[in-house]
Amino acid sequence: MNRTMKYIIRLYCNPLFILLMMACWSYPTFSTPHSVNSVKVAYLYNIAKFTQWPTDTWTSSTAPFYFCSYGADNLKEELQTLQHKKVGGHPITLLTPKKENDFNMCHAFYVDTTERNRYRYLLSLLQQEKVLIISDESPFFPQGGLINLVEKGNRLRFEVNTQQLEDSQLKFSSKLMKLAILVDSSR
């Protein structure tokens, strides 16, 4: 294990998350230089892998998993590492929605903090009960966000909006919930 990898693991990962990442050892970030953005993308991928969507979400077992991002220019390169990975047996297809109809295709949606003034509008375009909605800013929760990536104690963690999760049709694995910081959306 090289020095950079040890540093990233010590700073950004807790022991349970390391276990999850080890289960996905083939993930390409282990062979590339690490950055905060690559760790964020690893979180996005692993969160999606440990989420279950309703059975009627896909029309076939080989239908694509649409991972959408909006305003995430700083993550574009790292998000490319998700191309050809799978979530629940569905190959990931990256999508940057441009028209209102594009938002209906999203299974996971990452919205960058640069779009904070548009949260309410963007989330209104999604079927919120069936979409894994992620950002990295706390004001995202009152607008309907589900997961918020946060840095706590020099580590990247994630908060889960418990009210939004309860209102959604998504199910998180118990392993994922053990790692989460549970937050009541009324904060």
Query: Above pLDDT 70, what percent of the chain?
Result: 80
Residue with tokens 């104690």: 153
Q: Summarize pLDDT for 46-58 with one digit per residue, the tens.
A: 999 999 999 889 9
Contacts by 73-78, CB closer than 8 A, 24 or more apart: 73/112, 74/37, 74/112, 75/37, 75/40, 75/41, 75/110, 75/112, 77/37, 78/29, 78/35, 78/37, 78/38, 78/40, 78/41
Q: What is the pLDDT of residue 119?
A: 84
Q: Summarize pLDDT for 5-62 with one digit per residue, the tens.
A: 555 545 455 444 544 443 343 334 344 445 888 999 999 999 999 999 998 899 898 9
Q: What is the pLDDT of residue 26?
A: 37
Task: Pick the range with the lowest mean pLDDT from 32-46, 115-129, 143-157.
Answer: 32-46
Higher pLDDT residue, 1 or 153? 153
pTM of the shown model: 0.78
Q: What is the pLDDT of residue 176?
A: 94
